[in-house]
Amino acid sequence: MTRRELLVMALALGVAPGVAFAAGDKRDASAPRIVTLFQGATDTAVALGVLPVGVVESWLDKPIYPYLRSALSGATLVGLETQPSLEDIALLGPDLIVASRFRHQRIEPLLSQLAPVVMFDEIYRYRETLTVMGEALSRQANAAALSTRLTRRLSRLRRRLREHFGARWPVTVSLLDIRANEVRSYLAESFGGSVLAALGFRWNDVQRDLSGVSLKLSGVEGLPALDADVFFVMRHGRGAAVAEHYRRLRAHLLWQRMAAPRQGEVWEIDAIDWSLSGGILGVFAMLDDIDAWLTGAERRGRT
Amino acid sequence: MAEIQALRLGRFSRAIVWRPWWRVVMAWGVVGVALAGCLSLGKIALTPPELLAALSAPLSDTGLIVWQLRLPRTLLAALVGGALALSGWLLQQVMRNPLASPDTLGVTSGASAAAVAYFSLLAADLGHAWLPLAAAGGALMAVGIVYWLAWQQGVTPLRLVLMGIGLSALLTAATTFLLVSSPFSTTLSAYVWLTGSVYGGNWSEVARLSIGLALALVAMAPLVRYALLAAVDDALAVGIGVRVQRMRGALTLLAAVIAGLAVAWGGAIAFVGLIAPHLARRLVPVPGAAQIVMAIAAGAIVVMLADLVGRTLFLPLDLPAGIFVAAIGAPFFLMLLIRQVR
């Protein structure tokens, strides 16, 4: 399933179960005017079929993530996620603002004067975002349907992974984010990490003991801490600096000694779906990637 | 001089020089114009009649923008700028050094280190509510340490400045360490704070900062005359009956409190504290109340304009005022120095 099909499907699910329509064609007349101030809220709003009238600039592929562009063609950009333009929000006259305490605590009193505000503590707990936004937007049924769909897909994929790895399951995983001058490993608490954890993946002993959402490495000497059976690797940026850093890493002996590179289990994935989207559509795209990876691996295994 | 008049009210008496005050009045006129400009410019520009209409109808769409978004933010900018200017003026006077500013005493670096430590260690549990307190506490602690290190049967201005620079370097290193070792998201909010921003300023912040500054001003009133005398040689000051060490300590503490309050709500925009007093001295050459008021006006104007530029020039981006304080202030400062040398 391509991402576009998925989006159309999610939209269809959200707006009127059973009635499919192309993304961004029309707005649900009963839908409230909402402004979403973090990426996960934008993603979730679109998944619920409520197209936001105002969104903040994306982190990568600015100004809007490609998978949301057609749905958000009518939305106004209200500046950066870290510092949205309050006047733009006021001018949109929203019925509801979705924000996060993590980013927007300072402007919470101002936001609440402009419109009712839904405040999330964190920006990466996609399940909570989905449920709470479903209630706030009176789209409980859609939220529940998406949630059930997700649970079903997770259990199907968990089974598939168990069959694929056989006795080796549960395997260890590292979800790596390559940046221009450092490497992040996202732990089980993080957005992408929580999906992998729900699928049954585990982290190595070093990383399992860490608290927080990520482990930050700025030199190569720490690389062995990332060791795992499977690597999912994303690049944080499309530039040459990131590509060059990744090339240098792969050429390094410490990298080549780790289990995943030795066994050829390094899987390159997209940073938007696996980390930056922060919402349920991103999660579905992650699951698609893992399905595709297993299919590819099984085909290779047969030949 | 006939220009000087004595004002006597019972035991209270002041010598007043009226001449510089018309310039001061004009400067506050400019503050008024800047305020009006800040209120009418933004995502939607308002003409003067529209601005008046918006001001008289706080619940209309434009009224909401002007009353809840633009006005508190602009006032916060003005208060922060004015306070830093005042602190800078006091310090330049007490240190007898034209380069003294809240930066040199460690106010900014102390507040920065405390704020960044707060962001990376406490913000996750406590939220941002206590950030101003942490920043102001850091500023005062840094000044306290500088003072204690410089103490040698009293302090001399030179030792204070040198100790301040030394401690600032140390605290900057600590700040950098905290930034490098904390998560990315923390770094982002910390950077905005370090640049200095009045983004999201609201009425309760304006109220708290004004109360703090009002108290500091009341405490300052009886000390102003000593601030004027601080420029003379220690021996001479002792000769005319000034308790030099006590006054120096009191004025330094006062300057630190004022700057600490400003930095707590505005972030590290302390460059204003260096340039605004120089501006005031150009316009009102004689040290005195007129010069102080002029410095406050200059500081307020610089930060208000910097914030205006930051939030309107790159729409819909809303950039920290601190960037433009330096961008507007530095060339101006250089021009001032060049003209002074000639």
Please tell me the least confidently modeled range out of A136-150, B173-187, B214-228: B173-187
Interface test with B, best of A35, A53, A60, A83 (most B CBs within 10 A): A83
Specify which residues A176 forms β-bridges with.
Answer: A185, A233
| A228-245 average pLDDT score | 90
Q: What percent of chain B has pLDDT over 70?
A: 96
A55 pLDDT band, cuts 50/70/90, is: very high
Dihedrals φ, ψ of B324, to 5°? -85, -20
Residue A16 pLDDT > 50 = no
Q: What percent of chain A has pLDDT over 90?
A: 45
Q: Which residues of B touch A107 (CB under 8 A)?
A: 199-200, 202
Spatial separation of the C-alpha atoms in residues B295 and B289, rounded to whole Å: 10
Q: Can you give the pLDDT at residue A20?
A: 35
Spatial separation of the C-alpha atoms in residues B60 and B64, rounded to whole Å: 6
| A192-220 average pLDDT score | 86
Give whole-number Cα distances, B147 to A263, B59, B130, in Å: 62, 50, 26
From the list B127, B192, B202, the residue facing A110 with the nearest CB is B202
Largest CA distance in chain A: 63
Q: Can you give the pLDDT at residue B53?
A: 86
B301 pLDDT band, cuts 50/70/90, is: very high
Q: Can you give the pLDDT at residue B131?
A: 83
Q: Can you give the pLDDT at residue A2?
A: 55
Q: Please tell me which residue of chain B has the smallest CA distance to A213.
A: B183
From the list A79, A93, A110, the residue facing B318 with the nearest CB is A79
Residue B180 pLDDT > 70 = yes
B338 lies within 8 A of chain A by CB: no
A90 lies within 8 A of chain B by CB: yes
Using the beta-carbon criterion (under 8 Å), do B44 and A84 form an inter-chain contact? no
B342 pLDDT band, cuts 50/70/90, is: low
A182 lies within 8 A of chain B by CB: no
Please tell me the least confidently modeled range out of A22-26, A76-80, A88-92, B48-52: A22-26
Using the beta-carbon criterion (under 8 Å), do A91 and B65 form an inter-chain contact? yes
B69 lies within 8 A of chain A by CB: yes
Q: What percent of chain B has pLDDT over 90?
A: 20
From the list B43, B202, B204, the residue facing A87 with the nearest CB is B43
| A26-44 average pLDDT score | 82
Q: Can you give the pLDDT at residue B2?
A: 54
Closest CA to A134 of A118, A115, A151, A123: A118
Q: Can you give the pLDDT at residue B270?
A: 66
| A96-110 average pLDDT score | 87
Higher pLDDT, A212 or A48: A48
Q: Can you give the pLDDT at residue A286?
A: 93
Q: What percent of chain A has pLDDT over 70?
A: 89
A75 lies within 8 A of chain B by CB: no
Residue B79 pLDDT > 80 = yes
Specify which residues A117 forms β-bridges with.
Answer: A97
From the list B42, B61, B200, the residue facing A106 with the nearest CB is B200
B317 pLDDT band, cuts 50/70/90, is: confident
Spatial separation of the C-alpha atoms in residues B297 and A132, rounded to whole Å: 48
Residue B224 pLDDT > 90 = no
Spatial separation of the C-alpha atoms in residues B8 and B29, rounded to whole Å: 29
How much is the mean pLDDT over chain B? 84
- Compute the nearest-CA separation of A207 from chain B (Å): 16
B58 lies within 8 A of chain A by CB: no
| B204-225 average pLDDT score | 89
Q: Can you give the pLDDT at residue A28?
A: 53
Dihedrals φ, ψ of B254, to 5°? -60, -45
Q: Which residues of B touch A60 (CB under 8 A)?
A: none
Q: Can you give the pLDDT at residue B80?
A: 93
| B149-175 average pLDDT score | 87
What ipTM describes this predicted complex?
A: 0.74
Using the beta-carbon criterion (under 8 Å), do A85 and B204 form an inter-chain contact? no
